[in-house]
Every structure is written in C-alpha cells, then in structure tokens.
C-alpha cells in the first residue's frame, strides 16, 4: 500500500550511536540525490543545542559517509533539534510547535523497543501522530508473544498501514540484486523447484566475536540477532513465487505466503554452538547458554519446494566473514562419462558480501584422451559503482510511502511462529573452537546432501575460468 508523501522527518535518538554511524550519512546522501526536501527534526535528551547536533552530524559524515560540502550545507539548513525527556509530555508539545505547518510527519524511532510505547503515546496525545507514519527498528519482539504484544501497542496509536518496521538488511544492494536476478531472468524459473533443486544453503559467517557488545548479545543470541530476520529474508527472496505486480502489498503477500508454508522447527532441526572464550567477554554470564552459532534445517510445504531441505547457518568467530547462498541442483540422472560425486553437481552460488558475485557451477572436460571432467565456476562479478546506502533507500521509501521493503505485522508473527519452538534452551549449546566452522554436531543436519559448503576468501579466484 502506498500512502501520502511525508512532509517532515522526525528522528528520536538523534544523539545516539545509530544516528552517528548510519542516519546522518544517509540523510546527506538523500540530500545529494534529491530525495530529501522536508524539514529534519532530531529529538533526544542529551542536554545539547542545535549547534552541538550539527557538529555531531558533521563529524558523523566525515567519519562514516564522506563529507559533501554542498549536500551537508543543505542538510544542516533543514536540521532542527528538540532536547527533552521522552517521558515528559512537554517534549511532544514542543515537537508539535516545531512541526509548524507539517501535517504528515514521519517519526523514526531509533531508540530501544522498551521506549516505543512511551513515545507513541506522547505523539498521539500531542496530535503529532495524526496522519503520521512511524518507523521502528528491529528487534520486533523476542518471540511470538512479545511480537504480538508490540504490535498491539503500536496499533493503539497507528494503523498498520502507517507502521514501517525497518530492517536495514533489506535495503542492501546485494539483497535487492538477489530479488532482481530471480525474477528478471527466464532461465531460472524452469529449474527453480523440487524437480531440479537438491538443497539450498544460506551461510552468514563472521570472523569476529561480539566486539565489546557482550551484554547486548546475552539478550539476543545468533537466532534472534540474524537468523529470524536477516537470514529468513534471504530465504524468502530465494523461495517465494513471483508477485503478480510490483505494488507493496502484493510483494509482501507473496513473502508472507512463503513464511506460512515453512514448517515450525523442532529440536532435531537445530544445532546451537558457542565459541570458546565467549564467556570471558564483559557482560556475559560465566555459565551463559546463549548461542553464538546456529545451524538449522527448514522445510517448505509448497508444491514448488516439497522435499527440498533449506539449511541456514550463522556464527561468530568463524574462519571468514561472508554471506553466501548455495543452491545445489540434482545430479544428471545417468553418469554418461565419469562419476559425479555429491557436491559436484551443478549449482548457483550467490555471494552477498563482502563482494557481490553470482556464479554457476558446471563441469567441463579435462584436456586429454579420457572423457573426464572437472568443476568450474562461471562467474559474474557485480561492479556496483555508487551504491545506495541501506538507510538512504529505506528512509526515502518511508517518506514516499512505499512499504515494499518493510515488514508487515502478519509477516513478523509468521516468522516468529517458525522459530518459537526452539527458542531458549530447547537444545543444548555445544562449545566450538574459534576459527572453525562451528560444532561438528552441525554436520548431522545435512547428512546425505554433500555436507556444508564453506565460503573461503579465495574460492572465486581459485575456481574461476
């Protein structure tokens, strides 16, 4: 559903870390590309004035976006600031005055979810919620019950059509490219089903640990941090049917239809791990049972995907940092030439970061008398040029009223229904050594499908032809 263009942008948490690292650079980029022509009002409780906020914004773009003097000058001229407590109703009264003639503001809540209800109520009481939209950051709950509770809270003050649940991962260019590649090329559709696809693997590997965020990570773990949102979104883009039109609701309907077809997980479908040394981080309990690694096996009960396992794996302190998708095709029905072992069949491979590659695995004949082959990758390397920042794309869409890339209430709840049965300590945490591919127990999930395909830093260079 496309709604009216917003005539002001209000962002709560203007002095916070997210604003410093992501939002100010995105706002400057929006100005540079002609996508921000409304007042920008920052709200926070820091004891600051407008000049201090502008100085913070300048430092932000210099360190995280690259200073564009002309664009920053225009952004600075649009910037206003309200310093006040979110629990004080006078903060919202001053906001209403500062909005002036603006009647359709967009309120972006770059604040902890625990404050969503307080701010939403303050906006409503002051009239700032009238004809307004609201953007909320993930996490959208910790489980199904809390997600439903959060949705009920937001709906007290905003209709569903005015709520934008933002996940910056969906705004990334490589993720957008995955969706485009699927539905812009006719050669995929005939084989993109259970008749030709053997299995699908999605791996999000990080070579680093929790980087000083131990206390935060104790609250989430790998499943809540990246699996239930980021990795599920990649799975949906890979497996959904083509939408019949480009409008936001039709696109989201297809995603939700796919979510509803995924069988809820059971303990036998998951292996959780924790890297050795995690408990030494500040803020981490000495007997912590929080997972830093998770491997899952999912099944999609649709005509297209019935019987095709989807494997998801995410972890910290793994050998490389990379997000990879491997769609393995079934082997030819008969070995006319040499034997083709598991893992040597054709495949499509998508690397979403750090570089964007799309490769097709094939077999070609080795030079010589024998009819013997070798595996090669046929590679397309995406040269992005000036990519749009995720927050630039998503905030621009929210201002314009395009909800395509934002999560809908029923989609969020459908994703939690899949994960809910295995949250908490439904399965044990197994320790694994840093710089390995997680606990060996994860191998049992994928027996018979050729094993896990581990991303490497150099596989594209070694195997390209």
The answer to whether residue 299 is catalytic is no
CA atoms within 13 A on the CB side of 161: 7
Residue 231 DSSP class: I
Q: Determine which one of 107, 168, 230, 453 is catalytic.
A: 230
State CA 381 to chain mean position distance.
22
Residue 389 DSSP class: P
Torsion 299-304-306-309 (CA) sign: negative
State CA 42 to chain mean position distance.
25
CA pair distance 5, 10, nearest whole angstrom: 14
CA pair distance 403, 419, nearest whole angstrom: 25
User: Greatest CA separation found in the chain?
Assistant: 85
Cα–Cα distances (Å) from 168 to 4, 92, 414, in that order, read 22, 27, 20
CA pair distance 409, 141, nearest whole angstrom: 11
CA pair distance 302, 359, nearest whole angstrom: 27
Tally Cβ neighbours within 10 Å of residue 264. Answer: 13
Tally Cβ neighbours within 10 Å of residue 288. Answer: 18
373's CB contacts (< 8 A; 6+ apart) are 337, 338, 363, 364, 365, 366
Q: How many residues does the chain have?
A: 465
Torsion 206-210-212-217 (CA) sign: positive
| Closest to 222 measured CA to CA, from 299, 289, 175, 149 | 289
> From start to end of 27-157, where are the E strands?
40-44, 79-83, 105-109, 133-137
**Cα end-to-end distance, the chain, whole Å:** 45
> From start to end of 138-190, where are the E strands?
163-166
The pairing of strands 293-299 and 309-315 is: antiparallel
Contact 120, 157 (CB under 8 A): yes
State CA 127 to chain mean position distance.
33
| Closest to 26 measured CA to CA, from 53, 63, 73, 61 | 61
CA pair distance 118, 85, nearest whole angstrom: 11
Question: Which residues participate in catalysis according to the annotation?
Answer: 230
């Amino acid at each position: 559903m496309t709604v009216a263009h917003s005539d002001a942008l209000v962002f709560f948490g203007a002095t916070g870390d997210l604003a410093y690292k992501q939002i100010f650079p995105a706002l400057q980029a929006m100005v540079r590309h002609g996508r921000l022509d409304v007042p920008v009002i920052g709200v926070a409780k820091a004891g600051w004035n407008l000049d201090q906020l502008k100085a913070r914004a300048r430092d932000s773009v210099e360190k995280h976006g690259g200073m564009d003097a002309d664009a920053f000058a225009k952004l600075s001229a649009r910037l206003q600031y309200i310093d006040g407590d979110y629990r004080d109703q006078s903060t919202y009264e001053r906001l209403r005055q500062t909005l002036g003639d603006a009647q359709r503001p967009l309120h972006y809540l770059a604040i902890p979810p625990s404050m969503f209800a307080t701010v939403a109520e303050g906006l409503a009481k002051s009239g700032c919620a009238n004809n307004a939209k609201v953007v909320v950051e993930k996490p959208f709950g910790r489980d199904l019950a809390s997600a439903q509770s959060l949705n009920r809270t937001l709906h007290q003050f905003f209709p569903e059509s005015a709520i934008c649940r933002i996940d910056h991962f969906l705004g990334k260019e490589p993720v957008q490219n995955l969706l485009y590649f699927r539905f812009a090329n006719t050669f995929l559709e005939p084989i993109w089903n259970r008749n030709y696809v053997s299995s699908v693997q999605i791996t999000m590997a990080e070579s680093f640990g929790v980087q000083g965020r131990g206390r935060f990570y104790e609250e989430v773990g790998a499943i809540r941090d990246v699996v239930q949102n980021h990795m599920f979104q990649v799975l949906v883009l890979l497996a959904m049917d083509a939408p019949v039109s480009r409008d936001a609701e039709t696109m989201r309907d297809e995603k939700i239809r796919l979510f509803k077809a995924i069988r809820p997980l059971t303990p036998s479908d998951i292996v959780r791990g924790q890297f050795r040394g995690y408990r030494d981080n500040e803020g981490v309990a000495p007997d912590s049972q929080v997972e830093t690694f998770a491997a899952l096996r999912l099944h999609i009960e649709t005509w297209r995907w019935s019987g095709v396992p989807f494997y998801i794996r995410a972890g910290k302190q793994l050998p490389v940092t990379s997000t990879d998708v491997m769609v393995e095709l079934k082997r030819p029905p008969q070995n006319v030439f040499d034997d083709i072992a598991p893992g040597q069949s054709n495949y499509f491979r998508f690397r979403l970061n750090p570089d964007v590659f799309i490769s097709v695995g094939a077999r070609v004949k080795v030079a010589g008398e024998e009819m013997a082959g070798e595996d090669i990758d046929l590679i397309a390397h995406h040269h992005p040029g000036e990519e749009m920042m995720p927050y630039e794309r998503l905030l621009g869409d929210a201002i314009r009223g395009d909800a395509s890339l934002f999560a809908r209430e029923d989609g969020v709840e459908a994703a939690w229904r899949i994960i809910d049965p295995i949250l908490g300590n439904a399965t044990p945490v197994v320790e694994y050594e840093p710089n390995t591919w997680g606990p060996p127990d994860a191998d049992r999930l994928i027996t018979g499908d050729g094993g896990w395909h581990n991303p490497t830093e150099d596989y594209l260079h070694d195997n390209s032809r």
